[in-house]
Structure 1
Amino acid sequence: MSNSRAARHRTGPIRATVAALACCVAGALVLAAGPASAAPQPDFYTPPAQLPAAAGAVVRTEPMPLFATVPAADGNWPTQARLVMYTSRLQDGTPTAVTGTFIDSAHPWQGKGPRPTVVIAPGTSGQGDQCAMSRAFSTGMVADTDPLFLSANQEAPSAAVWSALGARVFVTDYIGLGTPGIHTYANRVEQAHAVLDAARAAIALGDGGPATPLALWGYSQGGGATAAAAELAPSYAAELNIKGTWAGGPTADLEQVLAQIDGNLIGGAIGFAINGFVARHPELEQTLHERLTPEGAAVLDTLGTECIVNVIAQQPFLRTATYTADHRSLLDNLRDVPEAMAILRAQRIGTLAPSRPVLVTSGRNDDTVPYGQARQLAVDWCDRGANVTFRTNELPPVAPGTTFVNHFGPELIDGFGTDSAVRYLLDRFDDVPLAPGCSLT
Structure 2
Amino acid sequence: MRQNTSRHNHRRKAGGVAAAVLLAVAFAGSIVAVPQAVAAPIADFYQPPTDIPATPGAVIRTEPMPLLVSVPGINGPWPGTATRVMYSSQTENGDPTVVTGTFVDATVPWQGKGPRPTIVIAPGTMGQGDQCAPSKAFSAGLALQLDPLSQNPLSLSANQEAPATLRWNAVGARVFVTDYIGLGTPGTHTYVNRIEEAHAVIDAARAANALSGSGPATPIAFWGYSQGGGATAAAAELQPTYGPDLNLKGTWSGAPPADLLDVLAKIDGNLIGGAIGFAINGFVARNPALEKPLRERTTPAGQALLDQLAGECIGDVIFKHPFTKTSSLTRDGKSLLNNLGTIPEAAPIFERQRIGTLTPATPVLITVGINDDTVPYGQVRDLATTWCGGGADVTFRTNELPPVGPGLVLPNHFGPEVMDGLATNEVIGYLMDRFAGTPVTGCTFD
Common topology (TM > 0.5) = yes
1:359-398 equivalences under 5 Å are 359-398=365-404
How far the C-alpha of 1:79 sits from its partner, in A, is 4.9
Could you say if the C-alpha distance between residues 26 and 220 of structure 1 is closer, same or farther in structure 2, counting changes exceeding 3 Å? closer
Deviation at 1:30, TM superposition (A): 4.5
Correspondences of 1:118-197 after superposition (within 5 Å): 118-146=119-147, 147-197=153-203
Note the C-alpha offset of 1:27.
12
RMSD of equivalent CA atoms: 1.9
- Which one of the candidate residues 232, 247, 256 is aligned to 2:253? 247
SS in 2 for 1:86: strand
Query: How do residues 202-241 of structure 1 correspond to structure 2 at under 5 angstroms?
Result: 202-241=208-247
* One-letter amino acid matched to 2:384: A
Residue 439, structure 1, aligned to residue 440, structure 2? no
Matched residue, 1:12: none
> How far does residue 35 in structure 1 lie from its aligned partner after superposition?
3.7
| Shift of residue 417, structure 1, vs aligned partner | 3.9
The aligned counterpart of 1:34 is: 34
Superposed counterparts of 1:397-408, under 5 Å: 397-408=403-414
Identity %: 63
| CA distance, structure 2, for counterparts of residue 74 and residue 52 of structure 1 | 42
Matched letter for residue 361 of structure 2: S
1: CA distance, partners of 2:246 / 2:436: 17
Q: Any idea what SS the aligned residue of 1:99 has?
A: strand
Matches for 1:250-329 after TM superposition, within 5 Å: 250-329=256-335
User: Which deviations, in whole Å up to 9, do the C-alpha atoms of 1:188-207 show, x marking residues without a partner?
Assistant: 00000000000000000000
8 A Cα contact 1:68 1:160, kept in partner: no
The separation in 2 between residues aligned to 1:382 and 1:390, in whole angstroms, is 10
Which residue pairs with 2:105 in the alignment? 104
Q: TM-score, normalized by length of structure 2?
A: 0.90
Give the Cα–Cα distance (whole angstroms) in 1 for the partners of residues 100 and 348 of structure 2.
Answer: 30
Report how far residue 78 of structure 1 moved: 8.3
Amino acid in the other structure paired with 1:329: S
3-state SS, counterpart of residue 398 of structure 1: coil
Change beyond 3 A, Cα 1:318–1:328: same
Q: Which has the higher contact order (CA 8 A, sep 6+)?
A: 2
Q: Could you report, residue by residue, the CA deviation over 1:329-355 in whole angstroms, capped at 9, with x for unpaired residues?
A: 011111122320211121000010000
**Aligned residue identity for 1:399:** G
Alpha-carbon contact 2:35-2:141 (below 8 Å) kept? no
Structure 1 residues 71-110: aligned runs within 5 Å: 75-76=76-77, 79-110=80-111
Q: Tell me the residue number matched to 1:64.
A: 65
Q: Partners of 1:310 and 1:205 in 2: how far apart?
A: 34
Do the aligned partners of 1:28 and 1:70 also contact (CA within 8 Å) in 2?
A: no
Q: Is the 8 A contact 2:34 2:68 kept in 1?
A: no
Contact 1:65 1:79 in 2 (8 A): no
Alpha-carbon distance change, 215 to 46 in structure 1, aligned in 2, over 3 angstroms: same
- 1:245 deviation in Å? 0.1
Residues 103-138 of structure 1 show CA distances to partners (whole Å, capped at 9, x for unaligned) of 110011010111000000000010000000000011
- Unaligned 5+ segments in structure 2 are 1-22, 148-152
Q: Unaligned stretches of 5+ in structure 1?
A: 1-21
The separation in 2 between residues aligned to 1:378 and 1:78, in whole angstroms, is 35
1:332 is matched with: 338
For residue 11 of structure 1, what is the aligned residue in structure 2? none
